[in-house]
Amino acid sequence: MVTKTHCFTAYIKKYAKYHRFVQDINSQPICLTASNLLVILKPPMMPTLSFERPVKKVKKMDVNFRYSKKNSYSFAVLSPLLPEAGFTDSPRNGVMIYSFTTLQAAKVFREVENAGTDSVFIAGGPHPSGVPEETLEYFDYVVLGEGEETLPELVRVLLQGGDPGNVKGIAYKKPGGEVVRTPERPHVNLDAYPCFDPQKLRAPIEISRGCPWGCRYCQTPRLFGREVRHRSVDSILRNAQHYNDLRFIASNAFAYGSDGIRPRFDKVEKLLSALHTLPDKKIFFGTFPSEVRPEFVTDESAELVRKYCTNNSLSLGAQSGSERILKEIRRGHTVEDSIAAVECCLEHELVPAVDFIFGFPTETEEDQEKSLDLVRWISKKGGTVRAHYLTPLPGTPYESAVPTDVSDKVRRELGKLALEGKLTGYWENTGNRKRRKSG
């Protein structure tokens, strides 16, 4: 059973571990006090918990976000909801909040393990949400999925000495080591929360969240659901007041206002035309940090970009030139859709910037050569290409998959294209590669 002392258990353990308050537990009981919580350590190191008086609050603790450039978008959304929280580039005493991806996980785990601070560590983001059990080897709590409602409630409960077990949408360990997941929390209404606090940390404006497609390599539908939610035009306009260059976050910008499967370009135009009325604004739509799906690139959508937007390129996710691989990864579009999207972009004088992923688990050299052929064709047409090597992500069907190595022939040809300035990114196994980059 989780008690009001549970939220302080890890805190007391860290006192004993890092400050060596316990010198000789085999001889005499030793008392540690923290606020009004009394912990009596007796042989064999089993804590007896009692209270000197009824608890209303635990020891006052500072709250800090562990900031890095790679988690700035997440913390821009969350920081307005914890106005008392600061930002730090290293662990501090108190409540420490982290958000990180799989590629950052090992470094973050080392930092927390070696922190030497009197902290309660909270993790959120793609990696902790996908593998809370692993994350809880280092962290005290994991916020699962969206954090707008869960994180402020968890922090409040911790500071007030409440029961974390009553907070929906988290994972934690009981004193015996059992991992507990509390009931899921419903997905949030984007309009109920700001995109950022302009006085603290800013981020591109998130216009949509969720994805209906369920690609096997992607965490988005697992984190945010398969029902697409949209921020209202009025809310977007309010956030847009704080920028001169307007950029947006969406898994598929052209799906704004729709179910994510059938486009509603009338809704897209309503948004873009409203933004266009704002004075001295440059609109970048369908380009970094968002992208568009190939089958959503049509004469109508391309012309909306030409009419209202500043960008002269569109970011497309083709992912493979092999029809077999596209079906296997459940991408939901065809190679012909990607070709048609590239040609449509060029007809409307937009540069197609196309993403490819190499290393899918059953990918053969023939599949890779089909992707290479499509990469070459796009380059000759005047488009640009960014290559990626598959990273199996927790919580996805490919989380335990072993990526296929890129063949020597394909690797050499990709390298030539990179040297010619036609390709950026990386395309080798992280276990044995020199990271091949260009740009």
Q: How does pLDDT run across 355-373, given as a tens digit for each residue?
A: 999 999 999 999 999 999 9
Do the first three CATH levels of 63-181 and 193-425 match, i.e. the same topology? no
Non-local (6+) Cβ contacts of 279 within 8 A are none
- The answer on pLDDT for 195 being more than 70 is yes
**Per-residue confidence (pLDDT) for residue 61, from 0 to 100:** 84
Q: Domain-by-domain residue ranges, the chain?
A: 6-51, 63-181, 193-425
- Per CATH, which fold does 193-425 belong to? TIM Barrel (3.20.20)
pTM for this prediction: 0.83
Architecture of domain 63-181: 3-Layer(aba) Sandwich (3.40)
Closest among 141, 99, 142 to 8, alpha carbons compared: 141
pLDDT tens-digit map of 98-124: 999 999 999 999 999 999 999 999 999
Given a contact cutoff of 8 angstroms between Cβ atoms, the answer to whether 31 and 38 are in contact is yes
DSSP letter at 136 equals: T
**Per-position DSSP letters for 79-100, written without gaps between them:** GGG-TT-EEESS--SEEEEEE-
Stretch (H or E) spanning 274? helix 265-276
Write the pLDDT tens digit of every residue in 298-354: 999 999 999 999 999 999 999 999 999 999 999 999 999 999 999 999 999 999 999
Average pLDDT, integer, range 408-435:
82
Backbone angles phi, psi at 176, to 5 degrees: -80, -5
More confident residue, 115 or 19: 115
CB atoms within 10 A of CB 437: 9
- Distance, in Å, from the CA atom of 41 to the CA atom of 9, rounded to the nearest integer, reads 12
pLDDT at 114: 97
The predicted pLDDT at position 11 comes to 42
Closest-CA residue to 79 (of 57, 58, 97): 97
* Average confidence (pLDDT) over 24-46: 36
Which whole number is the average pLDDT over 174-202? 94
Q: Which of 33-37, 91-95, 213-217, 245-249 has the lowest mean pLDDT?
A: 33-37
Helix ranges (H only) for 117-264 are 126-130, 132-135, 150-160, 220-224, 233-240
CA distance 288 to 318: 15
Whether the CB-CB separation of 259 and 212 falls below 8 Å is answered with: yes
Q: What is the predicted pLDDT for the residue at 269?
A: 98
Q: Is the Cβ–Cβ distance between 187 and 194 less than 8 Å?
A: no
Q: How far is 164 from 406, CA to CA, in rounded Å?
A: 46
380: pLDDT confidence band, cut at 50, 70 and 90? very high
CB-side exposure of 368: number of CA atoms within 13 Å? 26
Residue 28's pLDDT band (boundaries 50, 70, 90)?
A: very low
Token pair listed for 421:
């300035």
